[in-house]
Structure 1
């Protein structure tokens, strides 16, 4: 029988697959249950990026004044093909948990980052995420989060060169629509509702593409595909860390990157949403 974390594996449950990896719940002989994510092929730095992000978010949390444990799982093990995390029992997305999520996000964002980007090579799903640092968010967002995925989408046939020109033109207007300058925030980076795991009394943030970014990006991502009790999340966040005027009008700007990622990953189904977000700029 194989072993994991120094203990014999006694039971494994297949939880399906996502992107390039399989997911399993594993029970160990010492009584622990863990979550295992295993890649079918080596993507250099893939799980290191996720592990680094989880640790970095936890470090920011611990540097704040909050006394609760961080709302991210601890990393038990990580290598080129495997990531092991504690097993988290799922619960319900109650209004109270949603309000706590808003406050938790405000705490994480407020813990800050040294610059935009991160000191490790990133991934979002199985796509590389350029974490080269920068100090000017509109320029950094265009160079590191928008234009690379335009090129990938064109190369994969998900949109035309004419579409790409329209988005590239819109990217030139990011500075005009970005709102007041803010310091780099410590963000999750891929915070769609599927990466919020609702536990028994609070929400856990999983599968991050963590980096120093704009705090409105996480909130726009939550809104992109809908999240339970989103109004309560946003209200609690705004109470804890007030948002700059006009933030709602900037949602399409912050959704442009994740929509481009989806276009690159899943094809032309997302083309119209990408172009609509770009035209809002």
Structure 2
């Protein structure tokens, strides 16, 4: 690991430490601390680097700086560790509103320089631009994972039909596409004691409510403060709370594909709620 870090940063490595899995911390000869991540698939490092740079370009929410990447490795700044605070949560909410408002060329658009074949966690994710949010969300964020779950035996034909009926009821996107983090669960929000940082994006153009629905699904410290501050900057459309389940279909189906039956019932409940709503 030291060789790619030295090559990508231009500095010798004086020490390393494993953080988790294929993620390691490295100390450079100038005293800086960076994180090196080995991509789980070809192009994964490039996809994450493009997403981080796209989020950083909005100058809205802190993200770790990208030092470089190759086919296998991505090297980033190390985010300091600290405790969540209400003030940081409010800054996060205002920053997310500005991030989303910075926009995207289309729903499904990949970050500049990013591949169309991307990932959300370890699951494949297609960044394919579309004209209509509802049909794009069904085609590229719901039905592919339903089919994978059917192939794995997690869902049968009757369960798949529940999702197909839900897709027929998706509302149109009545606002410009937003610049999304795309995998905004609590584990991808790091707190340094003053600010909240975003890591591990699955960035793409989409509906801003999708990011907020992920925060609801997996929890976030001071979430009420995050949402109140967000609303101060860019109020959400009427009825957004009733659409949380709609936007949670995507992460719930991804988790069903990755982790199996434990998320299947929750995904089905969300789909039935959309169908009956």
- Partner of residue 106 from structure 2, selected from 112, 115, 121: 115
1:54 corresponding residue in structure 2? 52
| Structure 2 CA distance for aligned equivalents of residues 72 and 2 of structure 1 | 23
- Output one character per residue of 1:176-214: Cα deviation in whole Å (capped at 9) or x when no partner: xx5x61110001000001000111311001000011100
Find the residue that maps to 1:261 and give its secondary structure. helix
2:37 corresponding residue in structure 1? 37
2:12 corresponding residue in structure 1? 8
2:222 corresponding residue in structure 1? 229
1:73 corresponding residue in structure 2? 64
Shift in Å at residue 135 of structure 1? Answer: 1.7
| Structure 1 CA distance for aligned equivalents of residues 156 and 181 of structure 2 | 31
Gaps of 5+ in 2: none
Sort the Cα spacing of 1:170 and 1:55 in 2 relative to 1 into closer, same or farther, 3 A: same
1:155 corresponding residue in structure 2? 151
Contact 2:38 2:45 in 1 (8 A): no
Sort the Cα spacing of 1:113 and 1:2 in 2 relative to 1 into closer, same or farther, 3 A: closer
- Partner of residue 91 from structure 1, selected from 82, 90, 96: 82
1:100 aligns with 2:96: no
1:190 corresponding residue in structure 2? 183
Contact 1:192 1:224 in 2 (8 A): yes
1:251 corresponding residue in structure 2? 244
Sort the Cα spacing of 1:262 and 1:30 in 2 relative to 1 into closer, same or farther, 3 A: same
74-83 or 213-222, which deviates more = 74-83
CA RMSD of aligned residues (A): 1.5
Find the residue that maps to 1:36 and give its secondary structure. strand
Which aligned runs of 4 or more in structure 1 are off by greater than 6 angstroms?
Answer: none
- Partner of residue 131 from structure 1, selected from 127, 133, 139: 127
1:274 aligns with 2:274: no
1:174 aligns with 2:170: yes
Sort the Cα spacing of 1:227 and 1:2 in 2 relative to 1 into closer, same or farther, 3 A: closer
Gaps of 5+ in 1: none
Find the residue that maps to 2:53 and give its secondary structure. helix
- Output one character per residue of 1:116-160: Cα deviation in whole Å (capped at 9) or x when no partner: 112432211122211110121111110110011111111222222
Contact 1:116 1:135 in 2 (8 A): yes
| Structure 1 CA distance for aligned equivalents of residues 258 and 71 of structure 2 | 22
1:201 corresponding residue in structure 2? 194
Contact 1:46 1:126 in 2 (8 A): no
